[in-house]
Amino acid sequence: MIVVTTPTGQIGRQVLDHLLNALGSTVGIRVIARDPARLASRVHERVEVVRGSHADPAVLAEACAGADRLFWLVPPAPQADSVEGHFQGFTESLREVIKGQGVERVVSVSTLGRTVAKHAGQISASLAMDESIMATGVHYRALCPPFLMENLLGQTASIRGAGVFFLAMTEDRVLRTCATRDIAATAARLLLDGSWTGQHDVPLVGPDDLTPQGMARVVSEALDCPVRVQLTSSADYKASALRLGASEAWAQGLADMVDALNGQDIYGAAEPSTPESAPTGFREWCEEVLRAAVLRQAVL
């Protein structure tokens, strides 16, 4: 039995699609969903659904009963009172399930930066989550991407209307990227393989070594219109998060993450690309995903 968390989320949905396309009836799939109505009809037809949050120990225990493999992702919580507390709350529930219910393999979405990230907000909290889970002894694979290309999808209105997107980073620094579809494909491959053991990071770094200006050039060419990048500070990023309703703690975590990305060169040029696990290039993604999203924005 394979359990999938966040099955309606950006990554979890794609993981579930891969599993449904690959599996017959010999391996069961169970998902944990706060709102099962958001699941596609074919999901309801083929998987078991447990309603609730995987932060709830009772819900997680019910979903993992008899399961040996788990896809794990802690969703963001912009209103959380504590970044560390948010991740710890989810993690403690998982630790109890691993100890008591026999889950053998966990595939988790984490981040690059394990050896360098210090005081890095959400990055540090995610890496601490890995360490806590691994302390149980479970077989573990931490999927470690850098900046997600899909982060730009939240800026389609600005790209369409003003020809600009925003990045909180320094001008000349390379920003490594990854497409969520590569994360999902790697996660599904690991979940379908019941033979791997041990605990390891799996870097997922796309083939590009673009600076912000290089990213803007690719976006312009993919959309066939001029698009520029405007660089912002960590203070600006925090203020923007607060305006959008984030808690002080969550917004400060984002600011700390930005400062760490720039000051410690996390997600930077020193990270080697991993074509076997992250083959999608930024131009390919812009042409296939961002362009479609911007065109949809035009008819809203």
Question: In the chain, what is the straight-line distance between the N-terminal and C-terminal CA atoms, in Å?
Answer: 41
Q: Look at residue 228 and tell me if it is in a domain.
A: no
pLDDT in tens, 48-90: 999 999 999 999 999 999 999 999 999 999 999 999 999 999 9
pLDDT in tens, 272-292: 999 999 999 999 999 999 999
Tell me, yes or no, if the pTM score tops 0.75: yes
**What does the mean pLDDT of the chain come to?**
93
Q: Look at residue 222 and tell me if it is in a domain.
A: no
Which CATH number goes with the domain that contains 131? 3.40.50.720
Residue 255 CB neighbours (<10 A): 20
Q: Look at residue 84 and tell me if it is in a domain.
A: yes
* Nearest C-alpha neighbor of 167 from the set 112, 217, 79, 236: 236
Strand blocks (E) in 22-178:
29-33, 48-51, 69-72, 105-109, 139-144, 147-148, 164-167, 177-178
Q: Which residues neighbour 152 within 8 Å (Cβ) at sequence distance 6 or greater?
A: 159, 165, 219, 290
Q: Look at residue 106 and tell me if it is in a domain.
A: yes
Q: Look at residue 256 and tell me if it is in a domain.
A: no
Contact 55, 90 (CB under 8 A): yes
What whole-number distance in Å separates Cα of residue 5 and Cα of residue 72? Answer: 6
* Nearest C-alpha neighbor of 275 from the set 183, 206, 213: 206
Residue 176 CB neighbours (<10 A): 27
For 201-239, the DSSP string reads: EEE---S----HHHHHHHHHHHHTS--EEEE--HHHHHH
Residue 251 token pair: 């917004």
Query: What domain range includes position 65?
Result: 2-144+180-203
From edge to edge, which strands make up the β-sheet containing 199-203?
Answer: 48-51, 29-33, 2-4, 69-72, 105-109, 139-144, 199-203
Whether pLDDT at 300 is above 80? no
pLDDT in tens, 7-59: 999 999 999 999 998 876 567 899 999 999 999 888 888 899 999 999 999 99
> How much of the chain exceeds pLDDT 90, in percent?
85
In the prediction, which pLDDT does 25 show?
54
Provide mean pLDDT across the span 102-123.
93
Q: Look at residue 289 and tell me if it is in a domain.
A: no
pLDDT in tens, 108-117: 999 999 988 8
pLDDT in tens, 247-264: 999 999 999 999 999 999
What whole-number distance in Å separates Cα of residue 192 and Cα of residue 20? Answer: 11
Whether pLDDT at 298 is above 70? no
Residue 295 token pair: 């065109």
Provide mean pLDDT across the span 97-119.
91
Whether pLDDT at 126 is above 90? yes
pLDDT in tens, 194-249: 899 999 999 999 999 999 999 999 999 999 999 999 999 999 999 999 999 999 99
What whole-number distance in Å separates Cα of residue 125 and Cα of residue 88? Answer: 8
Residue 250 token pair: 């969550």
Q: Look at residue 213 and tell me if it is in a domain.
A: no
Q: Look at residue 221 and tell me if it is in a domain.
A: no
How many independent structural domains does the chain possess?
1
In the prediction, which pLDDT does 65 show?
93
